[in-house]
Structure 1
Amino acid sequence: MTEDPRRPLTRVKSGPQRADLLELFFDLAFVASLTLVSQKMAAEQSWIGLGQALLLLSTLWAVWVTTTLITDTYSPRRRPIPYLILGIMFGVMLMSAALPTAFSDHGLVFGGAWAAINLGRGLVLVRSQHGGQGRERSLRAVVWSLSAGALWLVGGVLADPGWRLGVWLAALAVDYVGFGFRFPVPGRAALPQYAVSPEHLAERYQQIYTLTLGELVLVTVLSLSHAPFTPDRAAAFGTAFLTAVVLWWSYAGGAGATLRTAIEASPHRARLVQTNPYAHWLMVAGVVGTAAGVERIIAEPGERPGSVMTALILGGTGLFLCGRAFLEHEVYGRVALSHVFGVAATIALAPLAAHLPGLVLGLAAALVLSGVALGELLRRRRRPTPASVTS
């Protein structure tokens, strides 16, 4: 049987809007890239290197967000969408393979793969649609992809890592601005807001956050398996487990669990669609940074952390709490004081970090997260309703 070419690619709005197995398969490539970013962070000894790792993570996050928006708008079971997703998955795997040396030997591979993903996606969608706003959006995306893609390629051929970082930051800014403002073109009317499926979109963010926690668990297990079992390493292992549990519980028992309800009920649904990627990026970056810190703590529990290691341990905790507070504000319409106090605690601990063993600093970060979780539990007993529901 052949499919009717006139049948629209968009999702059928009736019935359940669950994530497709192909999307979970695609996530495997993204999780592999998270592990490589975490390893790069753990190996870095300079702020420039840490900035490079964050740029690589932000680029890969852009791949995931834009791909999720495709599968939220178009059915993953309608050709050519499945082939498009598999093609993007191949590109992500190529970017991941080039990631450890993206600022040395394989810059052109990393930047070229992302440019190809962006441009190829737009061209496929242009060819597969026959007029309408969907085709208009895809055409505009191609124009923006050409601009950003040129910067990615130029950055990839620059030999100096500093210049490459600067050009790639500009390229990533073009990508984020284009997506955030729906690919504006001078002289043309603004495109309408993205039409989304709340059930599918909420499930996808819940899945990727949970898989990111899986990366923390994986790093914890692998780090201990590669070192002798000693009491201090066992304590670091237990601390990492406590951290992973609290990071999961804070999200699963709070705003993350009510994300679908918030999107469905919000009179400002488009705002939630636009802010979700940034709130979750902060949390994902926090978990990845925490995983890098865990790797270094388990390897050398008694090591006195330098500035970069302190940034991984306390900065990872702080980034997660900022993202969690951001999501809390978008879902409940307020910022919890426990999150503010948690961020303040991580800042207050920073001056003391150089005088503490890595294990103690990791335990302190875990206790900060546990204190915030306790505050969430006490507040949750009052059963707050998302602000968007009561609007």
Structure 2
Amino acid sequence: MPSRPMPEAGSVTTLELFFDLVFVFALTQVTATMADDLTSYGLLRGLLVIALLWWSWTAYAWLANLVRADEGVARVGMFAAMAAMFVLALCIPEAFDDAPGGLSGPVVVAVCYFVFRALHLLLFYAWSADDPGLRAQLLRFTPAMLAGTALLLAAAGADGAAQTWLWVAALVADYVGTYLGGAHGWRVRSPGHFAERHGLIVIVALGESIVAIGVGVAELPISWPIVAASILGLALAGALWWAYFDVSALVAEHALAAAGEQRRAGLARDAYSFLHLPLVAGIVLLALGLKKVLQYVGDTGHHSLSDPLKGAALAALVGGVVLYLLAHVAFQLRTTGRLNPARLTVALLLVPLAWLGGALPALATLALLTAIVIALVTFESLRYASDRDRARHDVRSGHSPAASGSASQ
């Protein structure tokens, strides 16, 4: 079964979408695990797992941009990788604290991570026989992956703070090692496919936030507060979708396509592989916050409507949106060279809400947060209406977008 290269005008394959279903499950597992340990320490560990999942996922985004995922040996490799990641996702509740009996959860996580990443490198190496620059880059990339796996295995034998710090060291080794290896040799064959692939994973994460709303009240009787909170949560997720897909994603894709081959690889690495991590992490934190809000307003046996969100739940709700907006600012700055002052200002203004929200009922905090984000995207749409319209149509028709304010939205 010979593999086929991804065409320059290629699009995401159905196998890649199927592949992403494993990550839907994994993100759901992370949200549920953080909800069970709703402390600052639990949030930190959840974010570490998200970073591990993200680095696993993005490796295959690069691979599938070079070779069609649904052809030849790549198809077999994708299914094998899905199996490894699915087992890893099953172990997420035991990633740090092993449950009694059975296999060691932390060890299984480390082994699955190694298998997943090793398959990626083997597939990449097999395809790069006629590309010495790419093969050399893979050899520079391998030590970072091996160091990360070794530190994860060491973490499996530790506990408490030492275990958490070993996880941090593993991720630093993998992320920083990759960055220090440079972008020379990496290839982005289809800019459209690469941008679409990352846009779809943002959709996956936003979808998980919708799932969190439903799961949060699945066993509770429907009530007007639940209806109100659900609509507000959906509106907030919709506003975050608008912030990414209305103009930002289109202009970033055009910038990636317009870049030269070597600059394109560095741009793809920075803007997508690195800066989409805080985008996705922010959405997962928001999903956790929405889940807790729905529990507060729906479970009247344990909470009243006047109860405020506090601690880690409030930090997740507000902090998730702040992280998402700050990641947008960095993403746009890297792709367009322009700073978005509106989003930066709103993100900074929201920081005090993580404390002030503790004095408001949970539903009021959600309503205020939703109103602020909707006001932001409304302001941008009206303030840059003509430039926004021109950018959207010019990018979709293949022309250069207007070098104006809306291009950095």
Question: Could you say whether these structures have the same fold, taking a TM-score greater than 0.5 normalized by the shorter chain as the test?
Answer: yes
Q: Separation in 1 of the partners of 2:143 and 2:345? A: 44
Which residue pairs with 2:17 in the alignment? 24
| Offset, 1:24 | 0.5
Deviations 1:132-167 (A, max 9, x none): 233333333333322222111111222x13211111
Task: Judge which range, 279-288 or 28-37, deviates more.
Answer: 279-288
Query: Which residue type is aligned with residue 40 of structure 1?
Result: T
Q: Separation in 2 of the partners of 1:349 and 1:12? A: 46
| Offset, 1:43 | 2.7
1:86 alignment partner, one of 79, 83, 95: 79
Q: Separation in 2 of the partners of 1:65 and 1:284? A: 12
2:328 alignment partner, one of 318, 324, 327: 324
Query: Which residue type is aligned with residue 97 of structure 1?
Result: L
| 8 A contact 2:134–2:187 mirrored in 1 | no
Which residue pairs with 2:146 in the alignment? 146
Determine if the alignment matches structure 1 residue 56 to structure 2 residue 80.
no
Task: Judge which range, 191-200 or 99-108, deviates more.
Answer: 191-200
Q: Separation in 1 of the partners of 2:292 and 2:80? A: 35
Determine if the alignment matches structure 1 residue 177 to structure 2 residue 176.
yes
Structure 1 residues without counterparts, runs of 5 or longer: 4-8, 185-189
Determine if the alignment matches structure 1 residue 375 to structure 2 residue 379.
yes
Task: Judge which range, 252-261 or 87-96, deviates more.
Answer: 252-261
Q: Separation in 2 of the partners of 1:129 and 1:196? A: 13
Q: Separation in 2 of the partners of 1:198 and 1:241? A: 31
Q: Separation in 1 of the partners of 2:374 and 2:141? A: 43
Which residue pairs with 1:288 in the alignment? 284
CA shift in 2, pair 1:237/1:78, >3 Å: closer
Q: Separation in 1 of the partners of 2:152 and 2:347? A: 34
CA shift in 2, pair 1:79/1:142, >3 Å: farther
Which residue pairs with 2:5 in the alignment? 11
Query: Which residue type is aligned with residue 112 of structure 2?
Result: A
Determine if the alignment matches structure 1 residue 37 to structure 2 residue 30.
yes
| 8 A contact 1:224–1:237 mirrored in 2 | no
CA shift in 2, pair 1:269/1:223, >3 Å: same
Which residue pairs with 1:271 in the alignment? 266
| Offset, 1:280 | 1.8
CA shift in 2, pair 1:334/1:379, >3 Å: farther
Which residue pairs with 2:190 in the alignment? 197
| Offset, 1:390 | 7.3
| 8 A contact 1:265–1:389 mirrored in 2 | no
| 8 A contact 2:192–2:253 mirrored in 1 | yes
Deviations 1:30-71 (A, max 9, x none): 111111111222233321111000000010010111110111
SS of residue matched to 2:188 = coil
| Offset, 1:253 | 0.6
Query: Which residue type is aligned with residue 322 of structure 1?
Result: L
2:358 alignment partner, one of 345, 354, 369: 354
Q: Separation in 2 of the partners of 1:111 and 1:266? A: 37
1:72 alignment partner, one of 65, 68, 85: 65
| 8 A contact 1:289–1:312 mirrored in 2 | yes
Which residue pairs with 1:230 in the alignment? 223
| 8 A contact 1:122–1:139 mirrored in 2 | no
| Offset, 1:119 | 2.5
Query: Which residue type is aligned with residue 66 of structure 1?
Result: A
| 8 A contact 1:242–1:366 mirrored in 2 | yes
Deviations 1:81-134 (A, max 9, x none): 112211211111111100012111111111221122223332344356536233
Q: Separation in 2 of the partners of 1:376 and 1:390? A: 15
| Offset, 1:229 | 1.5
| 8 A contact 1:313–1:361 mirrored in 2 | no
CA shift in 2, pair 1:367/1:354, >3 Å: same
| 8 A contact 1:112–1:156 mirrored in 2 | no
Q: Separation in 1 of the partners of 2:332 and 2:233? A: 25
Q: Separation in 2 of the partners of 1:285 and 1:12? A: 29
Aligned residues with identical type, % of pairs: 24
| Offset, 1:360 | 1.2
| 8 A contact 1:41–1:289 mirrored in 2 | no
Root-mean-square deviation over aligned CA pairs? 2.3
Q: Separation in 1 of the partners of 2:206 and 2:128? A: 37
Structure 2 residues without counterparts, runs of 5 or longer: 99-104, 298-304, 404-409
Which residue pairs with 1:187 in the alignment? none
SS of residue matched to 2:309 = coil
